[in-house]
A and B are shown apart, each in its own frame.
Chain A
Amino acid sequence: MLAAMLLLSPGAWAQERFITLASTTSTEQSGLFGHLLPLFKAETGIDVRVVAVGTGQALKLGERGDADALLVHDRAGEDKFVAEGFGIDRRDVMYNDFVVVGPAADPAGIKGRGVAEAFGRIAAAKAPFASRGDDSGTHRSELRIWKTAGVDVKAAGAGWYRELGSGMGPTLNTAAGMNAHALADRGTWASFKNRQALTILVEGDKTLFNPYGSILVNPARHAGVKAADAAAWHRWLTGPKGQAAIAGFKIGGEQLFFPDAR
């Protein structure tokens, strides 16, 4: 038993330097980290261990000091996180955009419209809509769009608005199964394989802009935070090398994330 514990202790398991990065399912499932992390490790020798959860949960992990750095996408939540002293030095990293996917037959007639109008039409047609419902960055954005569209999904959503409480991929799986609409980040959609009858119906609207921020967990609040190595990651990601690596990540020739650190 002791031998088993010893064998499984983190020291024996992996000798390398590492930090824990709490990030979102959208970045992990798009394959971006598979592209970035080997480059960073080759340069610094630091391993980045990614725990991919929704932005709400990632912020929670940071609050409790269970991650050393965050890469998330909910500007309002990020600013609150920093203002409350849980994180320091928030920086812009990159952006991509959301797309509205739905049945190719377009039952609500939303193809090519503005996103708020499209959401209004989905509600009017009571066309099925699959919501993340998990307090993620994407879910928070979706709720803002419903607000702009003047639709109260809590009151009017019976029968067509489904809160799934799952990550982006599972939500798309369910949407494909129900032939429902969904708001998805372009990265996850581009690498998603089980699309069935779904296709992009709305894209390019300014409100679909989806910016990502990098935040260091405040080492003053938790003794175990690996401040120096996390700062090295933070600087690399927002520096010229990290930014170039982000721009170089493509799926099927399509660039998925656009660097915008200043």
Chain B
Amino acid sequence: MHDLAAALSTALALVTAFDPLMLDIVRLSVLVSGAAVLIAAVIGLPLGAVLALTAFPGRGVLVVLLNAFMGLPPVVVGLAVYLLLSRAGPLGEMGLLFTPTAMVMAQTVLVLPIVAALSRQVVADLWEEYGEQLRSLGASRPNVVMTLLWDGRFSLLTAVLAGFGRASAEVGAVMIVGGNISGVTRTMTTAIALETSKGDLPLALGLGLILIGLVTAVNAAVFLVGQAARRRMG
């Protein structure tokens, strides 16, 4: 009880002080996870739709794999991206290891299966409902994809938010490919891990509360925008 109170007051003090180091950490967390989700959405939404609408041999296998990869262990993804970007690895010359770009790459790998698998399900359900109609209208394939993605936009938004939650909460991948370098690649989650290892539990928990608050704020903003849009549509 005492620890929780200490954590709360630490969190409050951190937020109200606008500590520049703290702000840097928050900004980096949002930028890295935001970029990863953006890239994953740009690739994953159409990929999921195409997977839902196109029959080809091996599709079942692909769907199962995609669903399974929603649970990719972040540490393993981090390790794979590390080996790729290491100076001794195939992309070593790009000098990307221990940079925010490396962290975006790792998180994109984590988020992409979530966005693609969930949007595949959403589009498949819509196709079952409206497929007959769209076929009778003679809509072209790209047209169908766009129509169904637009129709399912509120469900798809939830898929994207699930991806954001995954990205902003994981620590295993960014720790390995980012290195938790102070002022360069330290995010909310790696900072929490560091403070925990220093035994400063109130500070760690305080940072955790701020992270939860941040993710809640992002979700609230999306929710409000969605509601306004729905109302306008009647």
Interface positions of A (Cβ within 8 A of B): 1, 4-5, 7-10, 13-14, 20, 25, 29, 49-52, 63-66, 166-170, 172-173, 176, 191-195, 222-225
- B104 A5 Cβ-Cβ under 8 A: yes
A66 contact from B35, B87, B182, Cβ within 8 A? B87
B197 contact from A10, A13, A29, Cβ within 8 A? A29
Residues of B within 8 A of A29 (CB): 194, 197-198
- A222 B197 Cβ-Cβ under 8 A: no
Q: Give the Cβ gap from B166 to chain A, nearest Cβ, in Å.
A: 18
Residues of A within 8 A of B39 (CB): 1, 4
Alpha-carbon gap, A52 to B179, bound state (A): 7
Residues of A within 8 A of B179 (CB): 20, 49, 51
B side interface size, CB within 8 A: 33
> Shortest 7 CB-CB distances between A and B: which pairs?
A169-B197, A194-B199, A65-B87, A51-B179, A4-B35, A64-B88, A193-B199
- A193 B35 Cβ-Cβ under 8 A: no
- B182 A50 Cβ-Cβ under 8 A: yes
Alpha-carbon gap, A169 to B193, bound state (A): 10
A193 contact from B34, B181, B200, Cβ within 8 A? B200
- Interface contact tally, CB-CB below 8 A: 99
Which single residue of chain B is at the shortest CB-CB distance from A14? B184
Tell me if B92 counts as interface (CB < 8 A to partner A): yes
Alpha-carbon gap, A9 to B32, bound state (A): 11
- A195 B104 Cβ-Cβ under 8 A: no
- B197 A25 Cβ-Cβ under 8 A: yes
Tell me if B146 counts as interface (CB < 8 A to partner A): no
Q: Give the Cβ gap from B225 to chain A, nearest Cβ, in Å.
A: 20
Tell me if B75 counts as interface (CB < 8 A to partner A): no
Q: Give the Cβ gap from B80 to chain A, nearest Cβ, in Å.
A: 14
Which single residue of chain A is at the shortest CB-CB distance from B43? A1
Tell me if B196 counts as interface (CB < 8 A to partner A): yes
